Structures are given as structure tokens and as C-alpha cells.
Amino acid sequence: MSADNHPHKSGLKVKPRRLSKNYAVKSYALASCLSSIGLFGLIFIVLAVQSLPAFTEAGSTLLSARWNPTDNQYGMLPMLYGTLVVMFIAMIVAVPIGVFAAIYIAETRSARLRRFTRSSLEVLAGIPSIVYGLIGVAYVSVWIAKGLDLQTGRLILTAGLILAVMILPTILSLTTDAILNVPRDFRENAQALGLYRYEVFRDVIWPIAKTDIAGAALLALGRALGETMAVMLVIGSIDRLPKPIFNVLSSGQTITSKLGREVGESAFGSTHFSALVLMSLILVTITVLLTAASQHFFGRGRHV
């Protein structure tokens, strides 16, 4: 490069106004990031402080299966069990359907189908959870009760199925993106070697996309963990462990449904309120762990 064309020797300089704008944008972004972290830390600390009376006053009853605030018994085991089982049902139903549907959408050559599917997913994801709950009460629970000859359809199974429908758009959308984000050169090189279409996906696309798909499933699981209204309407809200323990055709309770029903009825500062705050702290902790795990998988996928 000649001296005349060199930016420093030709007298070209970055305008001070542009520098000030860049600095302002970076400062605002940094302040937003720090404030978000600080807000989360504040929420976590408040929950931890408010839950301390539950440990000191309820003590060993926290891990029991009996919840009766009038007798100072705050057993969280039924709620923990219900939360885990409902999430498990939702995942084993939604993940296979979402992944196979995403494979079909991503591998089809129809751009119109992909656009239609994405628009439909956006509509499904935007439906309020209370609507899903009302549909579950009015139709799904009735069908399950009649089909299985039960007295009620407000069961752990019903809550898991409703939750599966709610998280399906998340799994389907993120899985489709994970498959489409695989570089086209990989696909074209595999096809040039004479591999069939299913072999290209099995041997080339899937090994690259599977970590992002795992992250998508964990993100969907995090959303399932926080759903309240739909689950509360269809699970039956019974504070006991089913008998036998794996009987999903019984009513139950999750952490979110318990919080939704009883937070307004508890007195601030009471042991009852503290036990509910402790359950919310457990919920937040699990959500953070799931989010961290999903980001770990997404990070691995970018380095494959």
C-alpha cells in the first residue's frame, strides 16, 4: 500500500462523534448486563433469606410426604415428585414428536412448508397458558376419564400431556434451527461421495446438530418447569404421593400449582409462607441449572 492510500498517512480519522456513540452503546450494553445479573442476584438472596424460617421452624418435616400447615407440617415431597413426573411425561411425549417433525421440516425441499410451520409455531407459542388449561379441563381430562373409565381426568398424566403440547413449539423450532444451521458444504460433500439422503443426515448432520438439540430439549424443560396455570387446572392438586408410587393416573401437585393456590392464602412472615418461598427457591435453582446445562450444550455445538 502506498503512502497516499494508507489511512493514517492520508489524514483520515474517526470522527469523535462516532467514537462517543460507540462508547455510549457499549456502556449501555454493559450496564444492562450488570443490572440483569444484579437483579437475579437480588431475587435469589431475597428468596434465600425469606426461606430460612422454614428450616429453623419446620426442620425435618420439609422432606416428609405430609403437608398440613395447621399442624406445622410442610412436607414438600409430593410437590417435588409431581414436578419431576409431570416434566418427565411432557419430555418423553414432546421430544420425539418435536425432533422427528423438525427433521422432516428441515430436510424437506419446500420453503413454503417451512414458512407455514414457523408461523404456526409462533401462534402456538403465543397462546396463554390459561387457554391450554381450559382446553385441558374441558376436553382432555374428560377424554382421559372416559377412555380409561376413571372418576376424574384431572391427573398427573393429564398435566404431563398438556405440558407436552405447550413445550412442543419450543422443541420443534430450536431443533429445526439446529439442523438448518449445519453448514451446507458438509451436506454437499457427503452427497458428492454418493451417500443416500438418510445416510447424509445420520452420519453428517445428526452428529453436528445433536448437541444443539439436547440444549433445545433442556430449554424446553426449563419452560415446562415454570408453567403454573395450565398444570394447576388439570392436575387435581392433591398433596400426597400416589400409591403405587409410579401411578400417574392419580391426582397430584407440582411446585408451581402449589404456589399458585396457596401463596395468596399464607400470611407474610409465617412458616407457611416461608415454606412456599423455599419451594420457589428450589424452582429457581433447578431452572438456573437447566439453563446453564443448555448453554453448555449450545457452546459445544458451536465448536464441533
pTM of the model: 0.82
Residue 149 pLDDT > 70 = yes
Taking a C-beta distance cutoff of 8 angstroms, is the pair 259, 280 a contact?
A: yes
- Every domain of the chain and the residues it spans: 58-302
Pairwise CA distance, residues 98 & 82, whole Å: 23
The whole-number average pLDDT for the span 80-93 is 92
18-61 per-position pLDDT tens digit = 666 677 788 888 888 899 899 989 999 999 998 888 888 877 78
Residue 239 half-sphere exposure, CB side, CA atoms within 13 Å? Answer: 17
Best CATH choice for the domain 58-302 from the list 1.10.3720.10, 2.60.120.560, 2.60.120.10, 3.40.50.300: 1.10.3720.10
* pLDDT over 70 (residue 302): no
As to burial, measured by CB atoms within 10 angstroms (0-12 exposed, 13-18 middle, 19+ buried), residue 208 is: middle
